[in-house]
């Protein structure tokens, strides 16, 4: 079942006399339970695509359909609600609220949505266990390491079991060991919680955890790899690097 679909997406930015074509006709879909990585050189349109998929910005042309709803057909208020209830975001910068504890940060989306956080206690316990921070639930962000903060940001994005999790360089600020732990968590949230994920990354080691890798160049999808469940991480990594070299995506 398709959970997210982009049809002929275009995005042009006008800055004075300069026109930037960030996306030039992207067709893309994601099935429920799938984990997709988006790769491509700097400036190729990855973040722009993720923002349009998440309703954070409007396309100049084309449509985004999330859970059967066309985002551009909705009012601002409806898009905000749609985002709140159906989309989880994880960014490179963790954006945790410094005065709240880990647990309060994780529950924030539920509270903002006007729901009773007590209803989420069971799932909160499961998420704290998943991210390995059960004993840190009352710590504030400045009492957590960078990797721990990013795990809290992930749990916050997952708390209301969104139809889709969108992640832009979730390992961008982490060292290689912490990145690996983060990628294992994303993989487990897909496999164990059935979470659908679209992740933008520069790192072929991170992309190797996905089921499929889509390569963008100059605002268009250039190529993709669908992994077989038998492919191990080193094999996936080699396939990704080979395409990066072929497309001259290596930096
Ligand atoms: N708000 C904006 N106004 C004008 N131009 C923009 C804006 N946002 C992005 N762009 C331009 O659109 C193009 C695509 O940008 P985007 O951020 O999507 O790239 P990216 O693939 O995410 O790059 P990176 O890997 O560096 O994060 C770039 O040329 C960028 O300069
Ligand atoms: Mg980007």
Condensed to tens digits (0 to 9), the pLDDT of residues 12-35 reads 999 889 999 999 999 999 999 999
Ligand 1: which of 13, 39, 169 to mutate, judged by most atoms within 8 Å of the beta carbon? 13
Condensed to tens digits (0 to 9), the pLDDT of residues 193-209 reads 999 999 999 999 999 99
Which atom of ligand 1 has the smallest separation from the CA of 11? Answer: 12
* Band of pLDDT at residue 174, cut at 50, 70 and 90: confident
Nearest CA to ligand 1 atom 4: 13
pLDDT recorded at residue 247 = 80
Q: Is the distance from the beta carbon of residue 44 to the nearest atom of ligand 1 less than 6 Å?
A: yes
Q: Is the distance from the beta carbon of residue 201 to the nearest atom of ligand 1 less than 6 Å?
A: no
Mean pLDDT of 121-147: 95
Q: Is the distance from the beta carbon of residue 40 to the nearest atom of ligand 1 less than 6 Å?
A: yes
pLDDT recorded at residue 250 = 52
Q: Which one, of 196, 118, 184, lies nearest residue 157 by Cα?
A: 196
Q: Map residue 98 onto helix, strand or coil.
A: coil
Domains, the chain, with CATH or none? 34-51+77-246 (3.40.50.300)
CA distance 237 to 247: 15
Helices (H), 99-220: 102-112, 121-130, 146-158, 176-193, 204-207
**Nearest ligand to the C-alpha of residue 44?**
1
User: How close is the Cα of 43 to the center of ligand 1, in Å?
Assistant: 5
Query: pLDDT > 70: what percent of the chain?
Result: 99
pLDDT recorded at residue 173 = 86
Q: Is the distance from the beta carbon of residue 55 to the nearest atom of ligand 1 less than 6 Å?
A: no
CA distance 160 to 110: 7
Condensed to tens digits (0 to 9), the pLDDT of residues 69-90 reads 999 888 989 999 899 889 999 9
User: With 80 as the cut, is the pLDDT of residue 245 above it?
Assistant: yes
Nearest CA to ligand 1 atom 8: 48
User: How close is the Cα of 169 to the center of ligand 2, in Å?
Assistant: 8
């Amino acid at each position: 079942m398709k959970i997210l679909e982009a049809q002929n997406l275009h995005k042009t930015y006008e800055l004075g006399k300069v026109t930037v074509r960030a996306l030039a006709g992207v067709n893309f879909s994601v099935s429920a339970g799938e984990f997709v990585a988006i790769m491509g050189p700097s400036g190729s349109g990855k973040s722009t695509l993720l923002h349009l998929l998440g309703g954070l910005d409007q396309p100049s042309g084309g449509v985004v359909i999330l859970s059967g709803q066309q985002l551009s057909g909705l009012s601002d208020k409806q898009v905000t609600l749609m985002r709140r209830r159906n989309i989880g975001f994880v960014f490179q910068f963790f954006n945790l609220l410094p005065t709240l504890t880990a647990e309060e940060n994780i529950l924030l989306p539920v509270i903002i949505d006007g729901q009773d956080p007590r209803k989420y206690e069971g799932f909160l316990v499961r998420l704290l266990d998943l991210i390995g921070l059960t004993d840190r639930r009352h710590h504030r962000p400045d009492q957590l390491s960078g990797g721990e903060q990013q795990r809290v940001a992930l749990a916050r994005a997952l708390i209301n079991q969104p139809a889709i999790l969108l992640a832009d360089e979730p390992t961008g600020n982490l060292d290689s060991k912490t990145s690996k732990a983060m990628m294992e968590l994303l993989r487990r949230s897909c496999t164990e919680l059935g979470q659908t994920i679209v992740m933008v990354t520069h790192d072929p080691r991170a992309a190797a955890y996905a089921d499929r890798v889509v390569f963008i160049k100059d605002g268009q999808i250039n190529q993709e790899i669908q992994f077989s469940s038998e492919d191990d991480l080193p094999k996936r990594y080699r396939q990704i690097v080979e395409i990066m070299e072929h497309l001259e995506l290596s930096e």
